[in-house]
């Protein structure tokens, strides 16, 4: 997440809110009410590129595609229910006609030591909304929902908790000073130099007019753009990670980090882009209902 030393593609990130936004707390669109968005951490101060604390983001997970020769492809993501995991669609599909079989996918939880077998869980099924490639700059809908094979016992044992999904669009209230916090498992310095602990960093809001100008492309209003003035960025492995706001001590997911054709650490400092989850709330509700019906 260091812009000055991070040369890769596949962007992702997660963010936290300053009190410039309305303090009228929304409801969770999935009806989880008091169950979601609660952190066990007491110190929310954000300093650039630091490790997250234990229990600070209990919904965070590392998504991996198990490939040959013990290699893997990774992304970030979050739990939106006890067993439904959200990441980017391009993480599970190389292109619209070539998606990985669910048997090759897994999610690991915990803020560190995610290589332990007890932290890794298989995927029973998944659904994608739209696969967006690097050439589709400005398009929204790069979402994948995964049904995780995890029992209530392990949810409790690992201290997992879903993040809330707002039933209100807050983007109309964002100002240029709006601050967010990014978290993810992305590369920190060199190619595939991945962290051993979950990372967090602060970013600020960039309006879509300015974002479109910097990207030289029309950016949809279903996308939230962010930037950093402290040399922080998002990198390989951060894709699918959440963009968050915090209202009355409750964390809400506002966006999902996309692959936007940029290069982390780029000198032009093109804004990072996140697909707004609010605009796709009907799809989220529908897929979660399908997964719940499947047991």
Q: Could you tell me which residue, 96 or 223, shows the higher pLDDT?
A: 223
List pLDDT tens digits, range 181-220. 778 877 555 555 666 788 887 888 999 999 999 888 899 8
Rounded to whole angstroms, the Cα distance separating 295 from 293 reads 5
Q: Is the pLDDT of residue 39 over 80?
A: yes
Domains assigned to the chain: 3-55+163-278 (2.40.10.10), 60-162+281-289 (2.40.10.120)
289 pLDDT band, cuts 50/70/90, is very high
Contact 38, 161 (CB under 8 A): yes
For residue 184, what pLDDT is reported? 83
For residue 103, what pLDDT is reported? 94
pTM, to two decimals? 0.83
Contact 181, 198 (CB under 8 A): no
- Closest Cα partner for 100 from 130, 123, 77? 123
Contact 259, 11 (CB under 8 A): yes
For residue 1, what pLDDT is reported? 52
Average pLDDT over the chain, rounded to an integer: 78
Q: Could you tell me which residue, 63 or 34, shows the higher pLDDT?
A: 63
3 state DSSP class of 104: helix
Q: DSSP letters along 163-195, please?
A: PB-BSS--GGG--TT-EEEEEE----SSTT---
Rounded to whole angstroms, the Cα distance separating 150 from 161 reads 13
List pLDDT tens digits, range 119-152. 899 999 999 998 665 556 666 789 999 999 999 9
Rounded to whole angstroms, the Cα distance separating 232 from 224 reads 17
For residue 117, what pLDDT is reported? 64
List pLDDT tens digits, range 66-77. 877 656 678 999
For residue 143, what pLDDT is reported? 94
């Amino acid at each position: 997440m260091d812009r000055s030393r991070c040369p890769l593609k596949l962007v992702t990130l997660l963010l936290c809110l300053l009190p410039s936004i309305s303090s009228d707390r929304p409801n969770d669109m999935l009806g989880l009410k008091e169950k979601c968005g609660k952190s066990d951490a007491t110190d929310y101060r954000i300093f650039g590129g630091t490790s997250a604390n234990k229990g600070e983001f209990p919904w965070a997970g590392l998504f991996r595609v198990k490939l040959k020769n013990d290699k893997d492809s990774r992304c970030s993501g979050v739990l939106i229910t006890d067993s439904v995991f959200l990441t980017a669609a391009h993480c599970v599909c190389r292109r619209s006609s070539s998606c990985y079989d669910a048997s090759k996918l897994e999610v690991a939880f915990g803020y560190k030591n995610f290589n332990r077998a007890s932290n890794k869980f298989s995927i029973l099924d998944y659904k994608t909304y739209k696969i967006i490639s690097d050439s589709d700059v400005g398009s929204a809908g790069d979402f994948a929902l995964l049904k995780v094979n995890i029992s209530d016992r392990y949810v409790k044992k690992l201290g997992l908790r879903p993040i809330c999904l707002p039933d209100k669009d807050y983007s109309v209230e964002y100002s240029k000073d709006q601050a967010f916090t990014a978290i993810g498992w992305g590369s920190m310095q060199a190619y595939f130099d991945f962290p051993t602990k979950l990372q967090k960093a602060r970013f600020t809001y960039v309006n879509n007019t300015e974002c479109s100008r910097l990207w030289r492309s029309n950016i949809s209003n279903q996308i939230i753009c962010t930037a950093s003035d402290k040399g922080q960025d998002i990198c390989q492995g951060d894709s699918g990670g959440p963009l968050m706001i915090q209202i009355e001590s409750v964390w809400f997911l506002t966006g999902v980090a996309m692959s936007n054709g940029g290069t982390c650490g780029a000198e032009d400092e093109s804004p990072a882009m996140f697909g707004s989850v609010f605009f796709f709330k009907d799809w989220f509700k529908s897929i979660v209902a399908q997964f719940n019906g499947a047991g």
